[in-house]
Each structure stands twice: as C-alpha cells, then as structure tokens.
Amino acid sequence: MEPATRAPDTLGFSKGAALAEWFEEWFDEDYALLYAHRDAEEARVAVGRALRVAPELAEGPVLDLACGTGRHLEILRRANPLAFGMDLSRFLLGMAPGGLRPWLVRADMRQLPVKEGVLRGICLWFTPFGYFSDAENRALMLRLGALLEPKGVLVMDYLNADLVARTLVPEDTVERGGVRAKSRRSLEGERLVKRMVLTRLDTGEVRDVMESVRLYHPTGLQEMAVRAGLRLRRVMGTYSGEAFTEDSPRWIGIFEKAW
Ligand SMILES: C[S@@+](CC[C@H](N)C(=O)[O-])C[C@H]1O[C@@H](n2cnc3c(N)ncnc32)[C@H](O)[C@@H]1O
C-alpha cells in the first residue's frame, strides 16, 4: 500500500509522506453528521456550569482547544470576547459560524503556537485528550500547564474511563444524518479502540475509520496535571455539574494553576 501524503499545512509544519494518524482522518463530514446530537444546547449547559465553577473563563485570553465547529466557543464568547478556538480539522473549522472565523486557528495541539504564561484559561471539551502516546499525552499536559498564566484554569472534559471499560459494547450499528456506522470496540492495552465501517446511505459509499483513545483513570489524569503545576478545584460527572460517581457519563476536572 502506498503511504498517504499530506500537503504542508498553513502553519508551515508538515509530516511529509507519512501515513495519516486516525485523528487526522476521522474528524470530517461523517463525524459531524454522526455526532450532530452533541449540539449547541449541550454546549450551553456545559459552558454555563464551567463559568460558575471557574469565573476566570470570562476574563482574558481563553483557548477552546480542539474546538471542532466551535459550539462551546460560540457560547463562551458571549461572556468573554477574548476567547478563541483551535483545531486540526479543516472541515470542522469550516463548519463554524461565520462570526467565529476571526477567532479560530488551525493547529496541531502537539505543536501549540501559543506563548507560555499568557492564557487565563484552556478548555478541552468532549474528550480531545488521550489521542497520542503516553509520552505525547504527558507532554501535552505539561504544555497546557505552561501556557496558563498564574491562577489560570484548565477544564478537562474527559470520559469516565472505568465506566467505559466496564460497559463496553463490543459491536453496534447506528444510523444518523444519512450515515450508517457499524462499530467494533475493544480494549487494546490501555486504549479504547473503535473501528467503524461508515456507509453513506444516499450513495452507498463505504469507508473505514477508527478512534484510539488512552483510558486514563482519574487518578492518573490528576497526577499528570499535578506534574504540570495544576491543582484540582472541582470534579463533575455531568455537564450540568452533578457530582462525579462511578456511573457518571463524564469526568470533568476543573484545575487551577497552582502558582
Ligand atoms: C471529539 S471532537 C470534540 C470537538 C469539540 N470540542 C466538541 O465538543 O464538539 C475532538 C476534536 O479534536 C480535534 N483534534 C484531533 N486531533 C487534534 C490535534 N492533534 N490537534 C488539534 N485538534 C485535534 C478534532 O479535529 C476534533 O474537533
């Protein structure tokens, strides 16, 4: 099989002739169609609650990292006109409402083009963490800590790893937005791997995509965050702010920079 090639991107970093990583391929139109139910209303509830726990998010430069179509950013910018977003997916950034465009940057979070110590807050909504190797994930957490100004806040909206492992559905098929997704899920090492066969119901076009997310237990995430100079302020198990329990759908950690 020929390796996939990528053109150098607009920020001037290029991976050259390498096979694309799963997260470079999956977050496109099919993702947007299948996850359309992750919508503005969910974002409104989540951002509203985060602002109550971390009012700092309404002040100064705040980065919505891996912002996708900007559904959270749009809400946050009503409270904070300095909030901005960053994502790797040209397609999802292109779906953002026109008014957000000046506040969006395309970049790979492994090479964040932001100066250290300048951000009042960073939000990672709906599990954009754990995509890389352990070393790269740790390096990203350290970098997030370094980008924050003293007393800055980090919102880490991550899955409930134990619940995911305990309730894993090995196979299912869903149809949404004109796409059928037949998914097979497995735990491989410490990662949740989902392999999907996607069929466009109008054209019959078929493609394979995958997700591979490292399942970090909350204590592992917290240890990583502490090493990045962050201290846990609050944990929530839902977007509306309920306490985290072993059955919570999310693990949402709100951290503050310790110095
Ligand atoms: C599960 S989606 C969440 C999107 C958005 N936060 C939301 O809640 O709708 C994960 C996002 O991470 C982005 N992403 C994946 N790998 C990335 C990378 N290396 N650098 C920057 N963004 C990345 C994807 O393009 C996608 O928008």
At 89-116, the pLDDT tens digits run: 999 999 999 999 999 999 999 999 999 9
The predicted structure's pLDDT at residue 17: 58
Q: Is the pLDDT of residue 156 over 90?
A: yes
Task: Note the pLDDT of residue 7.
Answer: 34
Separation between Cα atoms, residue 237 and residue 253, nearest integer Å: 9
pLDDT digits (tens, 9 = 90+) for 196-222: 999 999 999 999 999 999 999 999 999
Average pLDDT over residues 180-196: 97
Is there a contact between 132 and 22 (Cβ–Cβ < 8 Å)? no
Domain range 163-213, CATH class: mainly beta
CATH homologous superfamily of 22-161+216-257: Vaccinia Virus protein VP39 (3.40.50.150)
Res 219: pLDDT = 96
| pLDDT score recorded for residue 19 | 83
Task: Provide the phi-psi class of 241: left if phi over 0, else alpha when psi is between -120 and 50, else beta.
Answer: left
**10 has a pLDDT exceeding 60:** no
Residue 138 has pLDDT above 60, yes or no: yes
Residue nearest to atom 27 of ligand 1 (CA): 68
Q: Is 143 in the pocket of ligand 1 (CB under 6 A)?
A: no
Q: Can you give the pLDDT at residue 18?
A: 76
Q: Which residue lies with its CA nearest to atom 10 of ligand 1? A: 128
Tokens of 45: 């509830």
Domain spans of the chain, in order of start: 22-161+216-257, 163-213
Coarse DSSP helix, strand, coil percentages of the chain, rounded to the nearest 5 percent: 30, 30, 35
Q: Is the CB of 89 under 6 A from ligand 1?
A: yes
Burial code (b: 16+ CB inside 10 Å, e: under 16) for 238-247 equals bbebeebeee
pLDDT at 259: 73
pTM over 0.75: yes
What distance in Å separates the CA atoms of residue 70 and residue 47, rounded to the nearest whole number?
12
Q: Give the distance (Å) from ligand 1 centre to CA of residue 66.
A: 4
Three-state DSSP class for residue 139:
helix
Q: Whose CA is nearest to atom 15 of ligand 1?
A: 23
4 pLDDT above the threshold of 80: no
| pLDDT at residue 135, as a whole number | 97
